[in-house]
Amino acid sequence: MWLKFGVAPDGNLVSIDEVARGKTQLTCLYCGGGLTAKKGSVKEHHFAHTEETCKPVSQRIKTKAFPALPLYDNFTIQLKGEELEQLKVLWKEYGAQDYAIPRDLVNFRWQLKGLLESSGDRIYQFTHLGLIPVGAL
């Protein structure tokens, strides 16, 4: 899975499609390290760490407790474990299949937190921020 988003100095998420090839001012969602935009003709466009990768950060985590990586603190996503599991089920059954999520399955708090948004007529979809806790960003 490729890293498709970085964090701008103002805290906004930036897609690989929005930047030029080469070293950027963006940082990694997970560890805060600098990112380089890899936009060649062989592999899918993605970000790579400019220096050391953050794999050691994720390998230090011994439990599945939420939050699992520092990125959740950076984006102030505060979810109960039960809510996280519910979001993962919604992602697997709807988001990953690119299906609209029916209103009756949506927790209003998720919409307030910006994790899901209405795409019209009482149906919802994941936002970029909502993809972070389900591991789909």
> Quick check: 104 pLDDT over 80?
yes
Quick: pLDDT tens for 6-41.
Answer: 888 887 888 899 999 999 999 887 778 899 999 988
The domain segmentation of the chain, as residue ranges, is 5-65, 81-131
pLDDT mean over 100-128: 88
Q: Please, what is the Cα angle at 28 between 64 and 127, to 5 degrees?
A: 70
pTM of the model: 0.48
pLDDT at res. 26: 92
Instruction: Give pLDDT tens digits for 74-94.
Output: 566 777 777 888 888 999 999
Give the angle subtended at the CA of 90 by the CAs of 94 and 106, to the nearest 5°.
Answer: 105
- Percent of the chain as helix, strand, coil, to the nearest 5: 30, 25, 50
